[in-house]
Amino acid sequence: MMKSELDKDLEKLFADSKNISGNVYTSNQINDLPLPVQRYFKYSLKENQPYVSYARLQHGGEFKASNNWVSIKGEEYFTVQKPGFVWSGNVPLFSAKDAYIDGTGNLKVKLLSLIKIVDAKGQETDQGELLRWLGEAPLFPTALLPSENLRWEPINNNSAKVIFTDKNLTIEGVFCFNEEGQITQFKTERYKDKTTLENFTGNYGDYRTVDGMKVPFYLEATWNLESGDLSYAKFKIDRIEYNSPSKF
C-alpha cells in the first residue's frame, strides 16, 4: 500500500524527536520564574508529572472560509523534544495540511482534496508554524517549562514574555494568565503573508484534566488587523492523548 503524504510526514516527525518522558516536573524548577508563570505550572501540573514527549488530538469546531463560518474536522500530532507538529484538517470542499518538521514549516491547501491552491514555504512560513507550535503548547504544558530553548521574562502579575529558539529561528510572544493560573491568551506577531507581520491572538478556554495535567479544550485564533479583529478558527478538542507517537 502506498503511504499517504500524512503518513510520511508523521513518520519523519516522530523519528525526529526523542522520548523525554523519563524527565519529571518538580516545583523547584519554577522558583525563579515570573509569578504568573509559577501560578500556571502550579495549576496545570502536579509534582513529579512526567514530561510529555508526544501529543495527538482530534478536534471539531468552525473555520472561516471567505466570509462564512464552516464546520471543520481535524487531527494534529506534536513532538516536544524537537518542536514539531503536523495538522490535517477538512472543511467542505477544502483540505489543508499544516506542518513544522525539523525546523521547516509548510502549509498546503487543496480544493476537493486534489487541486493544490496554497503551498507556502520559506522563512516567514517557518516563523508562523513555529509560533503555532508555541501557541498550542498549553496543550502539553511541560513544553513550556524553562529549558535551553525556552526562557520566560516578567511583564506583570497577569502576563509574561516567552522566548523560544529552534535551530537558528527565535520567536517570542506574550502569554496572559488569570488568577486561577490558566493561560487565557497568547499574543504575538505573525506573518499573515510573505511581507506583513500582523498582530495575532490565541484564546484558550474549557480547561479539563487529562493524565494529571490541566489543558484547554477550546482554542480560538484571531488576526488583530488595522481594519479590526478577524477571528478565523475556533477549535473544540474531542480527544487528546499523550505519548502515542502514531496515527489515530
Domains of the chain, first to last: 5-242 (2.50.20.10)
Bridging pattern class, strands 213-225 and 49-50: unpaired
Taking the model in full, what pTM does it have? 0.96
The reported pLDDT for the residue numbered 59 is 98
The reported pLDDT for the residue numbered 2 is 67
Least Cα distance to 82 among 35, 161, 143 occurs for 143
- Percent of the chain's residues with pLDDT above 70: 99
Q: 202-241: per-residue pLDDT in tens?
A: 999 999 999 999 999 999 999 999 999 999 999 999 999 9
Distance, CA of 98 to CA of 121 (rounded, Å): 11
**Residue 113 pLDDT greater than 90, yes or no:** no
